[in-house]
Amino acid sequence: MFDKKRLDEAISTTLYDLTHLEINTIIKDEMTASKAPASPRLLLHNLAGKYDLKLVTLGDKYAQYFGSPTADGANLFRGKREKEGSGYDSFKELSERSKDARMLLKTLKPGGDFPKDTVDADMMMLQRIETISGDIRRILVMDGVDPVKNDPVKSAQFNFDEKETIEKFRTMTSRDADEYELNLDLRQLLVIKKANDIGTEKVVLQTVIGIDGDVTTRISKAFAEQPVAFINEMHRDAIGISVEFWKSLINVVVNLGTHIIDLVNPKR
């Protein structure tokens, strides 16, 4: 009746979410006027596009060092695009290509146009693409998430690893689109939304707070060398609000305790 593995995973991830807060301060290159799509399928397609573009940009950057791997001049990191959509196989391809790119970058001797800091930052970015793509694949294979996966009729008509399918989905009426939309729970949707929000932007400060009292702050090397007081203050304010949000829930318990004591011992 219950899928034990899934239940275990759900419990452990929920417990992690309940007991941890994460605050990120990010420097973005530009602000797009358009809103992120509401549809999870289109969100995933946005994200796949960002990862694809980043692999191409990084591939072009390092091509002057490594050269092109193929005679037809395919991009060094992105290679030949087999999947241009945003289904399971598309993210598998992105994950594998970023892993290969990271392995290749490991062989580069830093110096000249490629100082160690730059190479390290790019390797971290490739690691992010690999990890998040893996997380998304894990969500996509979960039972009940993708209505197309186990339906032979739907999967014959819709292959979300193809760009054309995404375009077709984009222009469908909401009633028709709902039949092919991903069925995500709140946590899965948050994972995808957050991945799309952060995309391939530079995270300069990240703080993770655990209920057990552990606080971890990661600072990008470039920012640590030249910190800006304003950004530090912004990050501190954000931590304050996040902790306050959590604290307000704990206050419920304190107030409740006070009420109970008053209830059983009114003369206190």
Longest Cα separation, the chain: 88
The answer to the question of residue 37 lying near other proteins (CB under 8 A) is yes
d(CA 73, CA 67): 9
Q: Is the Cβ–Cβ distance between 199 and 45 less than 8 Å?
A: no
Residues 186-215 touching other proteins, rule: CB under 8 A, are 186, 189-190, 193-194, 197-198, 201-202, 204, 211
Residue 191 CA to residue 140 CA, distance in Å, equals 12
Cα dihedral sign for 32, 38, 39, 41?
positive
Q: Decide: is 172 part of the binding site for other proteins (CB under 8 A).
A: yes
Query: Which SS3 state, helix, strand or coil, does residue 21 take?
Result: strand
CA gap 55, 96 in Å, rounded: 11
**Contact pick of 28, 80, 116, 218 for other proteins (by CB under 8 A):** 28
253 binds other proteins (CB under 8 A): yes
Closest approach of other proteins to the CB of residue 194, in Å: 7
Q: Find the part of the chain contacting other proteins (CB under 8 A) among 47-55, 98-106, 141-149, 248-256.
A: 248-256
27 sits near other proteins (criterion: CB under 8 A) = yes
Q: Is 38 in the site for other proteins (CB under 8 A)?
A: yes
For other proteins, the binding residue among 57, 155, 232, 242 (CB under 8 A) is: 242
Structure-block tokens of residue 159: 């292959």
> Which of 71, 153, 156, 252 lies at the binding interface for other proteins (CB under 8 A)?
252
Residue 25 or 165: the one with the smaller Cβ distance to other proteins is 25
Q: Which is nearer to other proteins, 156 or 253 (CB)?
A: 253
C-alpha–C-alpha distance, residues 215 and 170, integer Å: 42
Stretch that binds other proteins, among 62-70, 79-87, 106-114, 258-266 (CB under 8 A): 258-266
Q: Tell me the C-alpha distance between 39 and 174, whole Å.
A: 10
Nearest to 201 by CA among 10, 32, 3, 4: 32
Site for other proteins contains 235 (CB under 8 A): yes
Which residues does 38 contact at the CB level (< 8 Å), separation at least 6? none
Instruction: Characterize 132-168 residue by residue with b for buried, 16 or more Cβ atoms within 10 angstroms of its Cβ, and e for exposed.
Output: bbeebbebbebeebbbbbeeeeeeeebbbbbbebbee
Q: Does 108 help bind other proteins (rule: CB under 8 A)?
A: no
On whether the CB atoms of residues 47 and 196 are closer than 8 A, the answer is: yes
The size of the interface with other proteins (CB under 8 A), counted in residues, is: 69
Taking CB under 8 A as the criterion, which residues in 152-171 touch other proteins? Answer: 169-171
Q: Interface residues with other proteins (CB under 8 A)?
A: 14, 17-18, 21-31, 35-39, 42, 169-175, 177-178, 186, 189-190, 193-194, 197-198, 201-202, 204, 211, 222-223, 226, 228, 230-231, 233-235, 237-238, 241-242, 244-246, 248-250, 252-253, 255-257, 259-260, 263-265
